[in-house]
Every structure is written in structure tokens, then in C-alpha cells.
Amino acid sequence: MSESLDASAPNADATVAQVIDTIAETTSDVRTAIFTERGHSDSVNPTGDEQLAADLRADEIFEQRLLAIDGVASYASEEREDVTTATGRLHVAVDPLDGSSNLEPNSGMGTIFAVYTERPPTSGRNLVAAGFVIYGPVTSMLVARDDRVREYLLEDGEKRLVDNEVTVPEDPTVFGFGGGVDSWTDEFEPVAEEIREELKLRYGGAMVADINQVLTYGGVFAYPALESRPEGKLRLQFEGHPMAYIVESAGGSSSNGDGSLLSAEPDGLHERTPLYLGNDELIDRIESAVER
């Protein structure tokens, strides 16, 4: 499922490795930003969410560190309108601080990253690697590359491998659905209700942590199309594609309600999408119910 790298790009593999190691190293600075930048900013991001000082700081840190890598041709972020370009072959898209509304209640947050062979906005089929970091009780990192997902614990920027092949467990246990029951559509509500009766609720307000529940215990995470917002809340390029790449690489499925999220091509960099991620059987059931 991952695209093979262009033979004319001999440094691409090395660049991917450098991106992953750089993100691992940068997490210490992001942890510091979470500790020191506790306030609001007076700006909103391109999708209209209020930006916290920590969102802006994390974005600056990743832009600076990732564009310093020779092979990185551009940096795109959920927190900035335009793609910043440099020279190189690979393109990195980042959600610098996912779940930042959890900053105040001191709950889980993370960083999501995606490495593309084309400059965003682009299809998920152009991904060559994706991953996320969780700033939880410990800092952990999941990396999907070459059809395999690996999990690391991070200490002082160093990666320690703890799982060489993360797979979605066969028997699903947990579900987490965003958006609020009152705002669900007539198509989603009945299948959501069925699943609610079968599985145990795990929803924390940061998809990095909620997707990691699914990877750990099996189940489903969804931020569906809403009555008031048919396009959903989460962003295809920064959240949908990388999470779909990770979950599919771990043997699960993804959908936007109309097929794999990886096949979805955004018209704009900050386009939103409904998203459904988890065990195949659950995603099939949801997709049949909500099909657009």
C-alpha cells in the first residue's frame, strides 16, 4: 500500500529517516513549549480554530527543524495558510499540536506528521511515511513506513523500539465518536448506537490518543459528517491522510464515508473530511450506513 520511492530520488529513504529522527528529537522542545506557553493567542488557524500560544510555538519549532533537512522540499502545517518551500524531494505536512484544547485540563496531546512525494494539497496515495507522537505520561511515537507500524518510547529525543509490528487487534473493544450525539446525522446515528452497545467508550479529545486506543485494543474512532457541518471537523491533509496511512498499515481500514481516506484528493490544503478509522468490519458497517 505504500508507494515505492522514485528510483531517481536516491536520497528519499535517507530523508524519510531524517524526518522521523528530527521529529523525535524535536519533541523535547515541544514538551517545553507545552510547559511554558500556557496562554491563548489572538489568532485563528486557516480552518478557523483559535490558536493557542503552544500551537504557534510548536509550529515554528517544526518548521525550522524540518526545513533544515536537505531533502525536505516543503513544510505545510494545520497552523499556517500556505506551504513554505525549500529545495528537496519530499514534502512534510504536520499538525504540530493535535488536541491542544487538552492543554488546560492537562490531558493527552500529540503531533501528527505525513511525508509525501508531492507538494500538498495532494492524494494520500503519495504518502511514503506517516506517524504521530503522544505527549502523554511518557512520550511515545508511532511510525508507519513500508507497510509496517512501529512504536517507540522517546527519551531525550532518542527512540527506543517497544513494538516492531503494531497491528489492530482482531477483536474490537473500544469506540470514540466525536461531534456530539445531537449533531450526528440520521445515517450515522443508528449504526453509532449499535456500536455503542457492543463496545466500550474511549474518547479523550485528542485523536492521537484515541487512535492509539484503537491500535492497542481494537475498535473504531470516528469524527463523522455532522448535520451542521457535513464536511466534518478534521483536516484531510494533516489528520485524515496520516491516520489512515497508519491504521491501514496496521491492518485496519479507513473511510471518509465513500472509500479509503487515502484515495481522497483535497481541493485545498485545509479541506476538512468526515473520518472513520479502525477494524475492517466496523468501518464496512459504518460506510454502508453513511455512504455519500
Binding residues: 78, 95, 97-101, 203, 233, 239
93-112 footprint of ligand AHM as x/- string (CB under 6 A):
--x--xxxx-----------
Q: Which residue is nearest to ligand AHM (CB)?
A: 207
Footprint on residues 80-119 left by Mg ion (CB under 5 A):
95, 98
Does 121 sit behind a cis peptide bond, omega within 30 degrees of 0 on the bond before it? Answer: yes
173-212 footprint of ligand AHM as x/- string (CB under 6 A):
-----x--------------------------xxx-----
Q: Is the distance from CB of 80 to CB of 46 less than 8 angstroms?
A: yes
Q: To the nearest whole angstrom, how small is the minimum distance from the Cβ of residue 269 to Mg ion?
A: 14
Footprint on residues 18-57 left by ligand AHM (CB under 6 A):
49
- Per the annotation, binding residues for Mg(2+) are 78, 95, 97-98, 239
Q: Which residue is nearest to Mg ion (CB)?
A: 98
Q: Which of 191, 168, 165 minimizes the C-alpha distance to 247?
A: 168
Footprint on residues 220-259 left by ligand AHM (CB under 6 A):
223, 233
Q: Which of 214, 74, 67 minimizes the C-alpha distance to 132?
A: 214
Determine if 151 is a binding residue for Mg ion (CB under 5 A).
Answer: no
3-state helix/strand/coil string of the chain? CCCCCCCCCCCHHHHHHHHHHHHHHHHHHHHHHHHHCCCEEEEECCCCCEEEHHHHHHHHHHHHHHHCCCCEEEEEECCCCCCEECCCCEEEEEEEEECHHHCCCCCCCEEEEEEECCCCCCCHHHEEEEEEEEECCCEEEEEEECCEEEEEEEECCEEEEEECCCCCCCCCCEEEECCCHHHECCCHHHHHHHHHHHCEECCCCCHHHHHHHHHHHCEEEEECCECCCCCCCCEHHHHHHHHHHHHHHCCCEEECCCCCHHHCCCCCCCCECCEEEECHHHHHHHHHHHCC
Nearer to ligand AHM, 239 or 287 (CB): 239
- Binding-site size for ligand AHM (CB under 6 A) equals 13
Q: To the nearest whole angstrom, how small is the minimum distance from the Cβ of residue 180 to ligand AHM?
A: 7
Q: To the nearest whole angstrom, how small is the minimum distance from the Cβ of residue 98 to Mg ion?
A: 4
**Residue 178 interacting partner from ligand AHM, Mg ion, none (CB closer than 5 to 8 Å by kind):** ligand AHM
Nearer to Mg ion, 191 or 207 (CB): 207
Q: To the nearest whole angstrom, how small is the minimum distance from the Cβ of residue 18 to ligand AHM?
A: 25
Determine if 71 is a binding residue for ligand AHM (CB under 6 A).
Answer: no
Determine if 279 is a binding residue for ligand AHM (CB under 6 A).
Answer: no
The residues that touch Mg ion, with contacts defined as CB under 5 A, are 95, 98
The residues that touch ligand AHM, with contacts defined as CB under 6 A, are 49, 78, 95, 98-101, 178, 205-207, 223, 233
